Structures are given as C-alpha cells and as structure tokens.
Structure 1
Amino acid sequence: MAKRYNTYNRLVKQKAVRLMCEKGIEQVAKDLEVSESTLSRWELEYKRFGITSFCGSGRGYVRLNPEQKKIKELTRKIKFAQQKLEILKKASKYVSQGRLIVLQYIKDNAKVYPTTTMCKVLRIGIVAYYRWKRNFISEPQQRKNLISEEVKSIFFEFNQRHGSNTITIELQRRGYTISKTTVRRYMVKLGLCYKRNKKTKITTNSNHTNLIAPNILNRKFTVKEPSKVWVSDITYIRIRNSFMYLTIILDLFDRKIIGWNLSSSLTTLQTTIPAWEMAISNRKATNKLIFHSDRGAQYASKSFIERLSSHKNIIRSMSRKGNFWDNAIAENFFSALKKELIYRNSLFTKEQLKVEVFEFIENWYNKKRMHSFLKYKTIEEFDRFKNII
C-alpha cells in the first residue's frame, strides 16, 4: 500500500513558523506531528518570500519576494501607461466621431491590446462593450441603415417634396456615392413616394374678341440673361367650399417666381395685374422683354395690355390655341406645386392656403428647392454664381 502524506494549507504553515519562534522546532514538530526537516524547510521559505510563501507549486507559478513583487508591479504600471498612450494616440481621431465608432475601434484592435485596457482608457464600460458586441451589426448593414435614415431625413426635412432624383443629388452633396436606382429602391421600401396627379380644371378662356398676340417665344425656353423672357399662367386650387386661383410670373433665366397672386376670382384685377405689379417691383423689366402667356382673357384684356404698354418695348407673346406645351415651364411649376403641396394635404381653408402658397413659393421654390435645369442648384445658388443677387 502506498504511503499517505499529510497536506497542510498555507495558514497552518505560517502558524507553525510563528510557533517555532515561541516554542522551538522540537516542540512544534511533536505537537503537529511534522518532521523537523519539514519545519526547517517551511521556516526557510518564509524568511525568503514572506507573506507570499506557501502559495503552492502550480505550473508556471513564480514566487516573488517583496522587492521582486514591487518591481513587477512597477513594470506592470509602466506597461499599462505605454499601452494607454498608444491607444489614446491611435484612437484620438475616432473619439470625436461618436460612441459607435469607438466601440468598433475596440473590436478591431482586440488582438493588439487587451479589451479591458482599451475600455478603461476610452471610458467604455466593459459590460456595455460586450453587450454591443453581442448585438453587433455588420458594416454593410450599418451603411444600409445609415442611408435609410438619411433618405428619410432628407425627404421630411424638405417637407416631403423631394423625389428620388433630388434626394440622390442631396446625398451625393453629403458625401455618399449612390445611384438614383438605389435611392428609388430605398424610398419604395420606406414608403416615401408622391401621390398621383389629379384631374385639372380649365382656367383659360380663349373664346373672346380681345387682342391676341403671335407665339413669339416659340418654345425657346433657354435664356442667357435675366428679364429677357417672362412667362405667366393661372391655375386653380380647390379649397373646402370653392376654388382659389393662383397667377404666377416666372423669369426663364433662373426659373424664379418673380410675381404671383392668389385670388378668389378670375378677373384681370385679381389675377394678372397684381402678379405683374409684384414682378416689376422685384425685377426690372428690360428693353424688348418678351412676356409670354396663354390666350386667356386675363392676358388679352385692355386693362392688362395697357399695364404692359406703360413699359417701353415689351413684346407680347401667346401660346397657340389649345397647345399647353407652348407654355410648358409655367405648367411644370404648377405640376410641382400640386404634387409637392396641394395633393399632399386635405382641403385648405382660404387663410391656410395663403400661408402655404407663400411658404412654398418664397421660402421653398425660390430658395431651397433644387432644379434640374440649374444643374441641381437652388435658384439662390444659381443667382449667386451669376451675380444676380
């Protein structure tokens, strides 16, 4: 039978060494039934390593005396300080980009530095880091989520008036490389789309005996200078109990609405004349200015023609009968107005409509809306570039 050996824990060994100082080695050996040679070995180890004695002989374990332990602690602190400096130096450019970027940095450098050290240095809770890591979203998915949020943000930032083309341009301005097809796919997924156009109401009455002008403009819609060609038109807007009528005058040079008026009737005094007065106060009518419109009675009336004639060399031009393409730019504006404002709201009251139309024309269309004709610049940006403002 193999001989059994007694085992003694660390506290017993330390107590035995202290008792040897009081009672002597022989008495302690007798009391504990331990050989004197074993007690001598315990005493020698205690004198050498002090309180770190009797920690076992596990594999890889190195016992240190107090001086060695102090050196080891100082070495550990120096190493931590060096790692801290390296981590801060490399991570400094990511800290300002937000918490998610810092978490990603820790994950990417887990094989370079201890995770606990990086979390401590960058002030990220270790529990929070591992919780984020468990719910980690891949970089491609993060990009998709980010683009979805940007598309939605732009759509609502501009009052739901941007389509896929203009949202694509805005995203590219913000640094994204993305195609119109991709943006359109995001918009469909998010349910962001225009309502369909509704049936229109005819506001042009060309059955009159007033003076009609020839089609001088002849669809030459590109103009190189301001106040060379102004176009005008009238459209209806349904309100709760009836209709309102919007008259606009637009400069073909920069597509700016320089004159407009919203009225409850189609008389010349409430449509074309107020819009004309606003236009000439906002932008000077130059020599040989072409004023183009349809053949409506409001444009062919004697009172309106007299207003035009009060300015020298203004050339009247009118679309051919029943041909709305001859005044396509004004029609395009009304299409944008109705898609981006009118069809997206329930029926307005008269007061609400006045406020909304003012906001749309003066603060949105003339200032913030991007125009494909202007190479996706706003009118303000285009005019600033051309030194018009």
Structure 2
Amino acid sequence: MKIPLVSKNEKLSLVKQCELLSIPRSCFYYTPRGRSELDLVIMRLIDEIYLENPTMGSRRMSKEITKTHKIKVGRLKIRRLMREMCISAIYPKKNLSKKNPEHKIYPYLLRNLSIDRVNHVWSTDITYLRLEDGFVYLTAVIDWYSRKVLSWKLSNTMEVEFCKSVVKEAIEKYGAPEIFNTDQGSQYTSEEFTDLLKNNNIKISMDGKGRALDNIFVERLWRTVKQEEVYLRDYRGIKDARKSLKKYFEYYNTKRRHQSLDDEYPEDVYYGRIQSKMAS
C-alpha cells in the first residue's frame, strides 16, 4: 500500500498529516512484512495448536510442529513468531509480553471480587488473526458481567492508538466502567493508554506477571471467535475479515446463548432484560 501524500520530511507531524488527509495512521505505519509461505503456514499451526493447548510454550510448540506436521522449525523462530502473534504459554513464568521498564505496572484488582453488575469490569486484549495471504491483529473490549463485546477493531499494527481507539469507542457508546483490566503489554502500560482510563475516572487493573488466566473472559472470547468464525473462513484481506467479523459479533451478542449466562444472550443481560449469574 502506498501513501504518497504523507511525508516524514514535512513540518507537520505524521499524525496531523494523516488526520488532514483522512488516512488511518495504521495505513501509514504498516510495512508489508514479506512473510514467506512457510512462515504463514507455521503461524497458522501455532494458532491452532495454542487454541487447543494454551500451556504449550515455544520448546514444546517447536517439537509438536516438527514431529507431527513434519516441518523442521527451531525454538527461537517459534518464540519470535509467538511474540509477533501476541501468544505466550499460560503458566507462571517469565512474561514474554514486551514491557517497558519505565511504565508503571498497576495491581490486579479482580481477585476474589464479586462482579454483580454491568460496567463493573471491562477488559481488553489483542490476538492474531490469519488472512489468506498474511495476518492482522484483532482487539476487543468485553463487559465481564454480561460477556457483551462492546467494541472491536482490526489493524496491521499493535501501536497504542489502535488499543486506545477501541476503548474510546466503547466509552462513547456505553459510558465508563468502574474497573478496566489489561495485561502488562507496553501498549497498555503506556501513559497514553492509562491516561485515557484515568481521565474517565476508571480504576486500572493489570494481570499478574505470566498469568493470562487473569483475563480469562477475553481468552475465552478469542477461543470462541476462532473456533466458530475464523477457522471456518479464509479471509481474502482485512476488508473481508472486517465484514465477516461484524456479522459474527452481532450474532455473538444477540443470538448466541452463553452457558455461563444460564443460556441467555449477552445483549439481554447487558440491558437488564435478563439477570446474569456470574460464572467463572
């Protein structure tokens, strides 16, 4: 993709140039990765294997792909691809998320907390999403009490603005939650992101180090989306993915019954038509 009207040499900032030209910043910052077909195959296998067994780290993942799928791939390459895909094994360990040591880490506020109302706790995360000839990132905001997906977005990059925009959209539509939970990734610990929460009087909660299960409802959402939607499609590109996911999330919120909600719909629970019984 070429964006010829945007220049790094102009006096105006890149952000301002993109705003004036109505060009999404992600379009400018995106550089085609030139991924080989083999890399894309390996990334698809990582995604599918991780979905079945999220405790599998780079060493076991490397052995599984090499022995089961007959693709010889080293642990270091698997580790690099897993990081790029926002994937890390779920067990107490050194956190593989890219943290910035200068950013403040906030405590986890949800342990033993009784979540008994909508907009009590929201959370967000990012996941890898495969395309026919590449991949993009999907992020979403979910209300813990009702399981309703409040907003979602796709992007070619994981920059802070991508993460902020999905939260801004949710707040504009539904007001602010009392608590917002994230992992300790640098996008979420940045002042730019945490200031958005503070300015809306939202308490900040962050997963414990190496504890992806602290954000369990988003992890479950990714599993459901991939099993029921992504793996059944071959998105031709980001536009195709966006169109199909829009239909899926509408279905997820309004027509998919959730066992954890006594087989009710998230939309009904969120708007008080049905009372939820929080389930872990």
Q: Does TM, normalized by the shorter one, top 0.5?
A: yes
2:227 counterpart of 1:339: yes
Q: What is the rounded CA distance, in whole Å, between the counterparts of 2:268 and 2:176 in structure 1?
A: 22
| Alpha carbons 1:233, 1:294 under 8 Å: kept | yes
Q: Give 2:49's aligned residue.
A: 199
One-letter identity of the residue aligned with 1:273: K
1:206-263: per-residue Cα shift (whole Å, max 9, x none)? 332222111111264x521111111111101011332211111111111111122111
Greater radius of gyration (CA): 1
2:256 counterpart of 1:365: no
| Alpha carbons 2:264, 2:274 under 8 Å: kept | no
2:171 counterpart of 1:280: yes
1:163-208: per-residue Cα shift (whole Å, max 9, x none)? xxxxxxxxxxxxxxxxxxxxxxxxxxxxxxxxxx703444173332
**Equivalent residue for 1:304, pick from 186, 193, 197:** 193
Higher relative contact order (CA 8 A, sep 6+): 2
Give aligned pairs, total. Answer: 187
Q: What is the rounded CA distance, in whole Å, between the counterparts of 1:373 and 1:320 in structure 2?
A: 24
Deviation at 1:349, TM superposition (A): 1.5
| Alpha carbons 1:219, 1:327 under 8 Å: kept | no
Provide structure 1 residue ranges, at least 5 long, that are not aligned to the other structure: 1-196
2:239 counterpart of 1:351: yes
Provide structure 2 residue ranges, at least 5 long, that are not aligned to the other structure: 1-46, 51-81, 88-96
| Alpha carbons 2:146, 2:267 under 8 Å: kept | no
TM-score scaled by length of structure 2:
0.62
Q: What is the rounded CA distance, in whole Å, between the counterparts of 2:268 and 2:192 in structure 1?
A: 37
Deviation at 1:381, TM superposition (A): 3.1
**Equivalent residue for 1:380, pick from 262, 267, 271:** 267
| Alpha carbons 1:227, 1:251 under 8 Å: kept | yes
Q: Give 1:34's aligned residue.
A: none
| Alpha carbons 2:115, 2:145 under 8 Å: kept | yes
1:44-95: per-residue Cα shift (whole Å, max 9, x none)? xxxxxxxxxxxxxxxxxxxxxxxxxxxxxxxxxxxxxxxxxxxxxxxxxxxx
One-letter identity of the residue aligned with 1:207: K
One-letter identity of the residue aligned with 1:310: N
Deviation at 1:268, TM superposition (A): 0.8
Query: Relative to 1, partners in 2 of residues 1:219 and 1:339: Cα closer, same or farther, differing over 3 Å?
Result: farther
Q: What is the rounded CA distance, in whole Å, between the counterparts of 1:384 and 1:353 in structure 2?
A: 31
| Alpha carbons 1:232, 1:250 under 8 Å: kept | yes
* CA RMSD, 1 decimal: 2.2
Q: Give 2:213's aligned residue.
A: 325
| Alpha carbons 2:133, 2:236 under 8 Å: kept | no
TM-score scaled by length of structure 1:
0.45
Q: What is the rounded CA distance, in whole Å, between the counterparts of 2:208 and 2:125 in structure 1?
A: 14
Q: Higher helix proportion, which one? A: 1
1:1-389 alignment runs, 5 A limit: 198-200=48-50, 201-202=82-83, 203=86, 205-209=97-101, 210-218=103-111, 220=113, 223-270=115-162, 272-286=163-177, 289-312=178-201, 314-361=202-249, 363-382=250-269, 383-386=271-274
| Alpha carbons 2:130, 2:136 under 8 Å: kept | yes
Q: What SS is found at the alignment partner of 1:366?
A: helix
Same amino acid, percent of matched pairs = 27
Q: Give runs of ≥4 in structure 1 deviating > 4 Å.
A: none
